[in-house]
Structure 1
Amino acid sequence: MKKTNGQLAITLVSLFLGIILAIQFKTVNKTVGEGVLPTQRAQQLAIDLKKAQEERDAAIKALDEAENKIKQYEKGEADNNVYAENLYKDLEKYRILAGYVDLEGPGIVLEIQEPPADVQFGIEYSIVDDLDLILQTISVLNAAEAEAISINDQRYTAFTEIERAGDHIEVNGVSINSPIVIKAIGNPETLESALSIKRGIVWTLKYYDYNVHLAKEKNIRIPKYRKLIEFVYSQPVEEETN
């Protein structure tokens, strides 16, 4: 009977020790999973991000080189033919209208910085919460006959999307944050007056405590639109001949 009790005691102790070891093993695995693995994952993501950025930069460089070669070919043909020269001029005009050409010229620069946080009530808001003010600014500049507009160096075109994405804004699919810098090429006096009119955009931004700086510039550079647009559902309407 004593032998049986001894074996039972040993069995219970072994079982108890096994449970303790299993719990410790599970705890160690969890700790490693929450510590080392996320760190390794973050490092790998950083490497992947850097590689993607390098590939993007290389693709942009290759695209620029290809566009320059095409332009040289087109210009060369135009120099040898009056008809081709007129076609080349028309092509350049439509490229400018579509936003596929870098432009420079006089205009204005509007910089919008976040308002200070309300210390008394602990309220903090940003331009992301007032996205409509950016849209109104673009509308006013278009009405003032701006010839080219950019938002944080993202060219604004008829295909540009401006939308909120979490705690930031996306323009042409690119994330931008404060400060928001809007550039516009056109008559500097006209553009400045359109934005500075009483109860206009600048007045409204300052009313909501945004730090605003508006300046006229003699020469502003606005980059071209980078995204390629493909028409899938639309096609030109053929003119009917009588």
Structure 2
Amino acid sequence: MSKYIFDLFQVCLNAGNEIMEVYSQDFDVEFKEDDSPLTVADKKAHNTIATGLEKLDAGIPVLSEEGKEISYEERKDWEQFWLVDPLDGTKEFIKKNGEFTVNIALIKDKYPALGVIYAPALDTFYFGVNDEGAYKLNNASKVNIKNLDDLINQSVKLPEVTKSNVTNVVASRSHMSEETEAFINQLDGEINVVSSGSSLKFCLVTEGKADYYPRYAPTMEWDTGAGQAIVEAAGGKVTRYEDGERFYYNREELLNGWFLVSK
């Protein structure tokens, strides 16, 4: 298991503490140029994660939703980098439904090598490393974890659910497109639609609680990197809508095309 995972676990817990401190209070909501919401929790989580990653390995650059804009010219030759969404699901955070996450992925040669996702309100930590498996830790901030062995031993290997007579499709609470509905309608047998926010949709597929997550609507690279790493570590796939090829990263345009997650 990657040497980075235990340190990333601690970074996520620290960011989660910052997020939950804001979550428990009244807070203001700003709007960015693309009309997406922004809160002080996004900013605090970004600062905490950036500091933690700098201490972990100062030689690996960071591309974060809330960090400074980095030109393609500057990043096009990166062999590896951290891809970060300090608070994924800001809309869910504002609604106070608990379905928001901290996402950190290590991208190597354009593909996710490892990923961690922490849902601070649910206190659940997911992590996965390419070719080494994916795991889930409940009550993450409450259990006694001193090292990587503790983390692995106290976590559940994913997927947990392997067989079902029902096809479960996970879709966003905040985004449901006509194309997503069409995908659901073409499936055979009994279909159950599971709603979820943020990168937790990837986690549901990783756990085996959902068979598919079709995302036929816009996302950004930092929305998907960690989720893809964890899904793939559990044996699943994240493929481009247009040609079925594996999703890749550090493109000139950071806006994602449509994709399908399958277990």
TM-score by length of structure 1 reads: 0.25
Compare relative contact order (CA 8 Å, sep 6+) and give the higher one, 1 or 2.
1
Q: Which structure carries more helix by proportion?
A: 1
